[in-house]
Amino acid sequence: MATLTAASTMTDIIAEFKTCASYSETADLALAKRFITACRMILALRGSRMRNAQQTLEFDVAAIDRQLVEAQEFVRTTASGNRTARFASFGKFRT
C-alpha cells in the first residue's frame, strides 16, 4: 500500500491514481480513500500541466474534480452501509 506524502513525486501520484482507480469495481473502501488522496494531490498542484525532466502530463482539472466527488460519495455511502445495490434472498421463506 503506497502512502502519498508531500515528498511524493509526480510519478508516485499518477501511479497511485491509476492503481486506485478501480475502487468501485472492487468495492474497496480503502482503495477509494487512497484514490481521494491522489485526486487531492493532483488538484493541489494547481494547474492542468505537470512537467519534470522526463515528461509532461496534461489533465482535465474538472474531470479530476468530478472523480474526487464520485469517490467521496462512494466512501460516504459504503462507510455508512447505504449501498445502492441490495440483494434479497428467499432461501428461508416459509421453509
Beta partners for residue 57, in sequence order:
50
Mean pLDDT by 10 residues, the chain (95 residues): 83 92 95 96 75 72 92 91 58 62
* DSSP string covering 52-95: -SS-EEE--HHHHHHHHHHHHHHHHHHHTT--S------TTTT-
Cα dist from 56 to 35, 41, 72, whole Å:
21, 17, 28
Q: What is the pTM of this model?
A: 0.73
Q: For residue 91, what pLDDT is reported? A: 64
Task: Enumerate the domain spans of the chain.
Answer: 10-79
Residue 47 C-beta-side C-alpha neighbours within 13 Å:
8
pLDDT at 60: 85
Tell me which residue of 43, 47, 23, 45 sits closest to 34, measured CA to CA: 23
Q: How far apart are CA 35 and CA 64, in angstroms?
A: 11
Residue 40 has a pLDDT of: 93
